[in-house]
Copies of this chain bind each other. A is one copy, B any other.
């Protein structure tokens, strides 16, 4: 099976999930509007973090499928489970924002949000691992060393998010900082670590 429609469908889910994030932010109904809009800062923060997270995963998904040239049913299934957790992010984001708004149970909310991201990271790894064990799915132009190097970089995702999840019970703000840090990390220094992709 060709990957074109799989990529198009995944892109659709990414685009809808990233845009649904805004539904979590509710118009303030009581008191002065100015104060109400300012008090929504946890919603803005959670919205911005999740937007960049989904954007970064989309970019990585995109780059991954520049190497993957064929999809079988197992890969399709792994991709569906990955999307299941990505489409779940608007809910995890709403939980995070609400807890910081109510100033109650921020640790649990940050851990819940962090574990969702860790599971997403795991499925990215499962997909790549599956492909590296089935190299007929990959482009001929990629070398085994490149496959390994990419795999190592992907492994940092779930590890980082697991650390963020555990940190929540120490301080939920540390988790937030790690979420932001990982966003920056995954978007920033990629060019140096990664082999140049080649057209299929």
Contact = CB atoms under 8 A, between A and B. Distances in A.
Contact of A22 (B15, B20, B188): B20
Interface residues of A, number: 57
Given A9-B15, A11-B12, A22-B91, 6 more contacts: A17-B19, A17-B22, A22-B88, A27-B94, A55-B84, A77-B187
A76 interface: yes
A27 B105 contact: no
A14 interface: yes
Contact of A51 (B25, B32, B52, B87): B87
A18 B83 contact: yes
Nearest to A189: B73
Contacts of A37: 95, 108, 112
B59 A108 contact: no
A76 B94 contact: no
A7 B8 CA distance: 11
A55 B82 CA distance: 12
Interface string A177-200: 000000000011011000001000
Nearest to A191: B73
A115 to B, nearest CB: 11
Given A59-B76, A80-B52, A108 B34 contact: yes
A94 B28 CA distance: 10
Contacts of A108: 33-34, 37
B32 A73 contact: no
Contacts of A159: none
A14 B143 CA distance: 36
A84 B48 CA distance: 7
A22 B13 CA distance: 12
